[in-house]
Amino acid sequence: MMGEYTEEQGKKLLKLARESIKEKFTSEKPEFPKGKEFNQARGAFVTLTEKGELRGCIGFPFPNYSISEAVYQAAKSAAFSDPRFNPLEEKEIRSIKIEISILTLPEDTEIKDIKLGEDGLICNYLGYSGLLLPQVAIENNFSKVKFLECLCNKAGLPKDTWSKPGFKLQRFQAQIFKE
């Protein structure tokens, strides 16, 4: 696993995520952490939970932004632009918990090579795509088949699409920081 970021760096990214969300209500631009590790281009997701329930999850699977910029954008999007939820209200800020997943570069894989709990998955099939973070399999006690079915569902595809010819699968790992 990639343990590239220290706990201390993870705390700085979590602080950035929280301040990025607060910016909408305070108009105070958050201060990005300093250091070359925060300028590395990385894929990242920000997951928000409230009382243990998902409240928003948005991110960037590919390293198109520095980790700081990815966390900044993903936190704001998870809070205010996840189409599955109403935008976060100011009064909810204190009750949400933030989790950041820093991703490795996705690589093509075969179903037989998937390691549950270690690998997150991205699927592509006939223009549809979906992504599930590695922790989803553990948190829901999924079998490999159930993980693949949920991935298809996330992509808007029938749950057995993973068994069809032309179904493309990539895997990645994530370093996770939680409040």
* Structure confidence by residue, pLDDT tens digits, 82-125: 999 999 999 999 999 999 999 999 999 999 999 999 999 999 99
Question: Where are the alpha helices (H) located in 3-133, listed in sequence order?
Answer: 7-26, 67-80
pLDDT per residue as tens digits for the range 44-72:
999 999 999 999 999 999 999 999 999 99
pLDDT at residue 3, rounded to an integer: 58
Domain 7-103 fold: Glycoprotein, Type 4 Pilin (3.30.700)
Tokens of 10: 């993870």
Query: Of 149, 156, 151, nearest to 128 (Cα)?
Result: 156
Task: Kindly report, residue by residue over 144-168, the tens digit of the pLDDT.
Answer: 999 999 999 999 999 999 999 999 9
More reliable by pLDDT, 173 or 1: 173
Query: Please, is 165 exposed, middle or buried when counting C-beta atoms within 10 Å of its C-beta (0-12, 13-18, 19+)?
Result: exposed
- Decide whether 7-103 matches 107-173 in CATH topology: no
**How high is the pLDDT of residue 1?**
45
| Element holding 129 (H helix, E strand) | strand 128-132
- Quick check: 100 and 71 in contact, CB under 8 A? yes
| Residue written as token pair 């009064």 | 91
Query: How many Å apart are CA 6 and CA 59, to the nearest integer?
Result: 21
Rounded distance between C-alpha atoms, residue 39 and residue 87, angstroms = 29
The answer to whether 146 touches 139, Cβ cutoff 8 Å, is: no
What's residue 138's pLDDT?
A: 94
Whole-number pLDDT of residue 83: 94
Q: Say yes or no to pLDDT of 179 above 70.
A: yes
Please identify which residue in the block is written with the tokens 């590695």.
134
CATH of 107-173, one of 2.30.30.100, 3.40.980.10, 3.30.1490.150, 3.40.50.720: 3.30.1490.150
Residue ranges of domains in the chain: 7-103, 107-173
pTM higher than 0.85, yes or no?
Answer: yes
For 125, how many CA atoms within 13 A lie in the half-sphere containing its CB? 24
C-beta separation of 122 from 106 below 8 A = yes
